[in-house]
Amino acid sequence: MTRLLWIALLVCTTGVAQTTDDSKRASTNVPEAEYPRVHSDLRVTFQVKVPDAHKVQVRIWSDEKLYDMTRAEDGTWSVTIPPMVPGFHYYGLVIDGAEVNDPGSETFYGAGHLSSGIEIPEAGVDFYAIKDVPHGEIRQLRYYSEVTQSWRRAFVYTPPDYDINLKARYPVLLLLHGGGEDERGWVVQGRTDIIMDNLIAEKKTVPMIIVMDAMYAHKPGESAPPVTLPPGSPGTIHIAVPPTYSEVVTKDLIPTVDKRYRTLADRDHRAIAGLSMGAAYAMQVGLGNLDSFSYFGSFSGTVMRDLNVETSYGGVFKDGADFNKKCHLMFIAAGTAEQSRLEAARHAREELDKVGVKYVAFDSVGTAHEWLTWRRDLHEFAPLLFHESNH
């Protein structure tokens, strides 16, 4: 039997395709769920069983597209979509017009509600992958706010040696989430502890405490303006009035953290940063309280498009030389595929150049308004913090 005839016979009798399905279940699936599956070329196959449905679609929020699924005889619906950009993406199923979560996926809080999410691996990149290195901890901090007259929750990252080196004290980074997310965002979607564990193990950053708080804060009887959510996401949410959250930070959160943890409790050892809406709050809270913060990070902050060195934030940038003496770092970042945020970042940098304010610019190549951008931002930002030469 010739080789060609043997191959033809094998395909005809077994039905095996000439290409092998090399897909793997997504790391964000619930236990035992085989779908979604990510292929080596980053195409993704979704599958769900809904026998009585007439139309089923997958909605990927980041590209604002709906993909029609095809029904099999047993009522299983499936579709394979084009390659997705590496990183974390929110998505949902649309079943006969109703948007629901995928039962095969874990759920993540984003855009004001719990939704499905999928992690698309980035080839050759492991700075946010778990490695065999010493690991820190994410701790839950409950604290009472006198400002809001309510109990609040924050998550706190402590570095690997926190419970070993009991005489050590640590600098603090307050890291803020984006609109429609909360204190869970940087912990779960952002992989903050994994990024920091790896950086510390590589001796690329100073061990630090990171506080991840929710920015929604209202005094009794106080209302907040609505914020528009990303395209494809339902409804609206309400954001905190900036002065209120600023009060929560200075009057409640900082004192509680300094009391409960072994911190270096001064402005030279305190940083604030955030993504998107959190970038706006980081600038508002941090630059409005220079007695409390000296390091600042704006990740994808649209607020930077309105920056005016003469008037913004009470004129703190007006005297560039004076600002450089007081503040150790201004970090301005955006993804190159999030055009409005990139333009905002570049405008802010041009404004700061006018008065000689020193800053560090970082553009995440090829990423949009998404968690891969912000993971990269944190990975670049953290190593710049808390060096004694800055003081």
271 and 221 within one domain: yes
Which of the 8 DSSP states describes residue 123? T
For 114-168, how does the pLDDT look when each residue is reduced to its tens digit (9 = 90+)? 999 999 999 999 999 999 999 999 999 999 999 999 999 999 999 999 999 999 9
Secondary structure tally for the chain: helices H, strands E: 9, 21
Compute the distance between CA of residue 276 and CA of residue 279 in angstroms, rounded to an integer.
5
Compute the distance between CA of residue 360 and CA of residue 362 in angstroms, rounded to an integer.
7
Query: In this model, does residue 7 exceed pLDDT 50?
Result: no
Percent pLDDT > 70 in the chain is 90
Number of alpha carbons in the 13 Å side-chain half-sphere of residue 69: 28
151 and 50 within one domain: no
H or E segment to which residue 186 belongs: helix 185-188
160 and 104 within one domain: no
239 and 165 within one domain: yes
pTM for the model stands at: 0.90
Which of the 8 DSSP states describes residue 65? E
337 and 209 within one domain: yes
271 and 384 within one domain: yes
150 and 45 within one domain: no
Residue 38: phi, psi to the nearest 5?
-105, 125
pLDDT at 188: 97
310 and 354 within one domain: yes
Domain that holds residue 332: 137-390
182 and 115 within one domain: no
For 233-246, how does the pLDDT look when each residue is reduced to its tens digit (9 = 90+)? 444 444 555 689 99
189 contacts 175 by C-beta, under 8 angstroms? no
192 and 287 within one domain: yes
Compute the distance between CA of residue 341 and CA of residue 157 in angstroms, rounded to an integer.
28
pLDDT at 223: 74
186 and 88 within one domain: no
Number of domains in the chain: 2
